Amino acid sequence: MVAPLLSVCHMICVQQIGVVILLQISKKFNHTEVVHHQAYSSFSPGLFDRPSFKELDKLIGLTEVKRMLAEITAFSLIQVMRSEQNLKSQPVSLHMIFKGNPGTGKTTVARILGKIFKDIGLLDKGHLVEVERADLVGEYIGHTAQKAKEAIQKALGGILFVDEAYTLAQGGEKDFGKEAIATIVKQMEDNRDNLVVVLAGYCNEMDHFMRSNPGLRSRFPIHIQFNDYSCEELFQIALHLYSERDYVLSNAARWKLKHLLTEFCSHRHPHSGNARFVRNLTEKSIRRQALRIIDKSRLTRKDLTTIEDIDLPELSELKA
């Protein structure tokens, strides 16, 4: 497991909305200690032992993303703890910018993040509502505000994930995308206690989007970058996808898969797909395996579960 959350966290008792929770917090990254506050006499099992955090920790790679989310969670709850002890606390804004190429885990992490925020009491439901420009921008005056408000209403208690958010600002002066942005910002302020908005997209496009909308920077203080997966991480993702479906690779297939991924990484561009590419590769190989064995008179368990090198498609087939 890569950089487990437990290795960068120690435990602090935190009480929120009458529920005492145990929080493991990043501090010095080299030891673990328990801090007991006299106001709290008991606590529940560790927060980072909960299913939502374990689900995040099991994701392959994303080391920096995991660290950032641990910090964000810790900071948010510590502010609650400080406020309850009449200490100065900082306002917490959980609206975020996710930057990265397709297939780097942005939507997956956002979905898990909703579960985490529900676990710690920051959101009521923790569900994810995923939208893009077409879901927010209308065709006539007043239509955009209506569509944007409807999307917000669906997301209340959870996370509104706006994919390719920069497209909202790519039209001309009369484009309704700007109205969608204004409506989202207004609804964020009106529902600040029970809504998180995540704007996502390519790095360069999102940076330009934020520069062209300076008022957004203060409203989206958290920026998380999702880097492309390394070849080894893509290989591990592929093995995980096969394992989930009860398939194994022969030695020859493993060698070919590594060769394919090395070639893929050497010619990668922002639209290549990362984990999405790997998913397409595994699904195509499983279909090809089925076609290869379907006419056998007798199929063994090994036949049904083994992916051979001839089942793996060439890169040219996946690009088609």
Mean pLDDT by 10 residues, the chain (320 residues): 40 35 34 30 51 92 92 86 89 92 95 93 94 91 91 96 93 80 92 93 94 87 95 97 98 97 88 90 97 94 97 81
In the DSSP assignment, the letter for residue 29 is: S
CA distances (Å), origin 187, targets 118, 151, 183: 20, 10, 6
CA distance 3 to 314: 33
Number of other residues whose CB lies within 10 A of the CB of residue 146: 11
- Domain span at 143: 93-227
- Let me know whether 178 and 237 are in one domain: no
CATH number at residue 99: 3.40.50.300
CA distances (Å), origin 134, targets 1, 211, 216: 38, 23, 21
In the DSSP assignment, the letter for residue 228 is: P
CA distance 232 to 80: 40
pLDDT tens for 173-209 read 677 888 999 999 999 999 988 999 999 999 999 999 9
Amino acid letter, residue 219: R
User: Looking at 212, 227, 242, which one is the last position of a domain?
Assistant: 227
- Let me know whether 121 and 222 are in one domain: yes
CA distance 133 to 187: 17
- Let me know whether 241 and 174 are in one domain: no
Closest CA to 85 of 134, 12, 187: 12
- Let me know whether 221 and 304 are in one domain: no
User: Looking at 201, 227, 253, which one is the last position of a domain?
Assistant: 227
∠ CA(136), CA(115), CA(145), 5° rounding? 15
- Let me know whether 81 and 135 are in one domain: no
- Let me know whether 13 and 135 are in one domain: no
- Let me know whether 85 and 103 are in one domain: no
Closest CA to 15 of 49, 33, 38: 38
- Let me know whether 211 and 100 are in one domain: yes
- Let me know whether 5 and 62 are in one domain: yes
Q: How far from the centroid of its chain's Cα atoms is residue 34's Cα?
A: 29
CATH number at residue 295: 1.10.8.60
- Let me know whether 202 and 183 are in one domain: yes
Domain count, the chain: 3
Closest CA to 199 of 211, 209, 187: 209
Sole residue written with tokens 């437990």? 6
Closest CA to 34 of 21, 24, 44, 49: 24
Give the per-residue pLDDT at 49.
Answer: 75
Contact 188, 197 (CB under 8 A): yes
Question: Sign of torsion, CA 156 159 163 169?
Answer: positive
Q: How far from the centroid of its chain's Cα atoms is residue 82's Cα?
A: 29
Query: Which stretches of 59-136 are assigned E, i.e. beta strand?
Result: 96-100, 128-131
Give the per-residue pLDDT at 263.
Answer: 93
Residues contacting residue 243 through CB under 8 Å, at least 6 positions apart:
none
CA distance 184 to 304: 50
Record the pTM: 0.81
Give the per-residue pLDDT at 153.
Answer: 95
Q: In this structure, what are the phi and psi dihedrals at residue 85, rounded to the nearest 5 degrees?
A: -100, 15
pLDDT tens for 208-267 read 999 888 888 889 999 999 999 999 999 999 999 999 999 999 999 999 999 999 999 998
CA distance 60 to 52: 15
- Let me know whether 207 and 253 are in one domain: no
Contact 56, 109 (CB under 8 A): yes
